[in-house]
Chains A and B, each alone.
Chain A
Amino acid sequence: MSANGVPRQVVLRSPRERIALRLPVRGIVVALSLLVGPIAVSCVSLSTGSYGVALDEIWQTLRGVTISQAIDNVVWEFRFPRTICAALVGAMMALSGGVLQNATRNSLADPSLVGISQGAALAVVTLTVLFPELNSGLRPWIAFVGSILVAIAIRALSYTRQGGSTIRFILMGIGLSAFISSLTSILLTYGEIDRAMAALAWLAGSVNAASWGDVWTLGSWSAVLFASLMLLSRAMSAMRFGEAAATGLGAPVALVRNLQLAIAVGFAAIATSVVGPLGFVGLIAPHAAKRLAPAGMGLHLVLTALLGALLVGLADLVGRAAFAPIQIPAGILTSLIGVPVFVLLLVRSRATGSH
């Protein structure tokens, strides 16, 4: 903070000031130091495992030098795609939560809490168990359809004459998740056992089978979604002040909110379709980002994404190292951290007191 109470910031202006970016210094510093986090975790992640590889050997391998065929294989075929997937999925789930919290103006919103992840899960499990002959490339699309249907259902059910009620949104989500989860259980319990086991492994939320194909899926989708999010971030900033104020500021409120929901659903659905449901990342990351640095909407989203990547990267690393040779799916660890955070937020929030 500077002397007059306004955060210190640098202002970048394009010629003739068509575009001006005001960047708070602290936010930039935090973002840059956060960038180190996922990279450090990735390095450790690349070198640890049942086949240990020294850090400098990894550096060599990544630069294209072949030390040995085994190292090449381990790094390029298994660990590298897995590490990238963990980071991407973390960033996507974090962004989904962040956007969802903004769109619903509810600080407790998380895709796994309100049924969006469960919708994707039901769709994918249906595909795995009932139609195993269909191409698995369809997964992201199917997951997206499942999630968007759930989102529409919650939106319709929680809508009142006064507009969407935020707290209803969460309670509706809890009810819908229970309903969808029991449909999923039917498929799991009564589908053929092999297919059910495959679906079950996926449902735990693990990146251990990640391949380069998954990296491409995640990467291309998140690039598109992130770009649309950045375009929307200015209008989203206006929405932070409430809908009436945003209308006054000239933001097309209903359109922006629906676009936000679609983007949040997209992030969660694609990430879920590849690695399974990852609980509570979307809840933790945006709050942690808010704590670390005061920032405008755009920078806040960047920080959120970086924190999500760090969180899931760490969860994956700990999960496969802590109880080796048994691998704990990242989703289990994120839930174990996430639930206490949820309780903490619940206890500290003022928003839940009013309906």
Chain B
Amino acid sequence: MSTSAAPVAAQHRIRAWSGVPALLAFLVGVFLLHIAVGAKPLPIGTVIEALTRFNPEIFNHVIVLNLRLPRAVLAVVVGASLSLAGALMQGVTRNPLADPGLLGLTAGAAFAVVVAHSVFGFSAMAATPWVAMAGALAAAVTVFFISRMVPGGATPLSMTLAGAAVSAFLGTIISLIHLLNQDTFENLRVWLTGTLAGRDLALLWYVGPPMLVALVAGIVLAPRVTVLAMGDEVARGLGVQTGMLKAQLLAVVVVLTAGAVALAGPLGFIGLVIPHVVRLYVGSDYRWIVPYSALVGAAYLVSVDIVARVAIPPRELSTGIITALVGAPLFVHLVRRRTR
């Protein structure tokens, strides 16, 4: 076995590297396409021109820079964050069904934001991400403790059920708050379906830096996740401080999820879908899975958002609805494959 292991690893490395340029090219392509499509279609040439030689006199350039570019950037950031968070969660929990949405993190973040807005009348934009982070963290810890208490321990099944329970509970309280307070319902209704439309990009200035730090940290920590995915005892035997590593990874996941929710509302299933697609190509090494997930996730959400914008003109679909429509069947497929 040991003789063949090295060539296989090398093979994977070559294959993994070879995907990067194609992926980057694809990401740039959908990014430009995203900017070009819309109520007023623009030629790709104009888009590139606006991005490289911006001229405030030309109306199309202003559209690109002020209206279309922010949304495309948002899709990249949110897609990369949720996918990377999902990949890390799947590695750490050794749960192929792990996803920030399914394990209650997005519900926790959304719940905290709704409570802050309606109960405390707290709408300071700068604070929203921190509130969301507190909510996501609390929900993650709750789900984890519930699933630990289930006989058989934190299995994919018990985690998913605990996550569904916590999400259902928080969702119910959100509806209750909406009933008691019509204004927040009006303000947050669209946000709660998860969409990239009409977002205040100023928020990105607050959330962007911590999210960027978390993205880099996730990629840096990724090689150790591979060891962690072999089980706690193996990891400890190999000299990994599992407790410390898990705490760091939890922080990364919470920051990324909460930031994404603060920016775009609860978008489901992205973190579930993307790492599985990536794994088909790069195998089980988290050194590759994690950065690939970020790239593929970004390209995926940009593409989904294009569909959301052009599917039923003149109106727009919520991006979160499409990600659920694509993600739920994959979830069903994974359940079919993973359980007897």
Residues of A within 8 A of B (CB): 108, 113, 157-158, 160, 162, 165, 167-168, 170-172, 174-176, 178-179, 181-183, 185-186, 189-190, 204, 279, 323, 326, 328-329, 332, 335-336, 339-340, 342-343, 346-350, 352-355
Contact B146 A346 (CB under 8 A): yes
Contacts of B317 in A (CB 8 A): 186, 190
A160 to B338, CA, bound (A): 12
Interface centre among B168, B176, B324 (most CB of A within 10 A): B168
Interchain nearest-CB distance for A207 vs B (Å): 15
Interchain nearest-CB distance for B107 vs A (Å): 12
Chain B 322-338 per-residue mask, 1 if CB under 8 angstroms from chain A, else 0: 00110111011001100
Residue B146 contacts which of A165, A172, A326, A343 (CB distance < 8 angstroms)? A343
Interchain nearest-CB distance for B47 vs A (Å): 28
Number of B residues contacting the other chain (C-beta, 8 Å)?
45
A329 to B175, CA, bound (A): 10
Contact A328 B176 (CB under 8 A): yes
Residue B157 CB within 8 A of the other chain: yes
Stretch at the interface among B78-86, B120-128, B159-167: B159-167
Residue B158 CB within 8 A of the other chain: yes
Contacts of B155 in A (CB 8 A): 352-353
Tell whether A347 pairs with B149 under 8 Å between CB atoms, given A179-B329, A182-B321.
yes
Q: 25 A-B Cβ contacts within 8 A?
A: A162-B340, A167-B339, A172-B336, A174-B164, A175-B328, A175-B331, A175-B332, A178-B324, A178-B327, A178-B328, A179-B328, A186-B317, A189-B190, A279-B168, A332-B175, A339-B165, A339-B168, A339-B172, A346-B150, A346-B165, A352-B151, A352-B152, A352-B161, A353-B150, A353-B155
Residues of B within 8 A of A (CB): 97, 102, 146, 149-152, 155, 157-158, 160-162, 164-166, 168-169, 172-173, 175-176, 179-180, 190, 193, 268-269, 312, 315, 317-318, 320-321, 324-325, 327-329, 331-332, 335-336, 339-340
Chain B residue nearest in CB terms to A349: B151
A-B contact count (CB 8 A): 125
A343 to B143, CA, bound (A): 10
Residue A352 contacts which of B158, B173, B176, B332 (CB distance < 8 angstroms)? B158
Q: Helix, strand, loop or mixed for chain B's interface?
A: helix
Interchain nearest-CB distance for A122 vs B (Å): 13
Interchain nearest-CB distance for A182 vs B (Å): 4
Contact B339 A171 (CB under 8 A): yes
Interchain nearest-CB distance for A283 vs B (Å): 11
Contact B151 A350 (CB under 8 A): yes
A204 to B336, CA, bound (A): 32
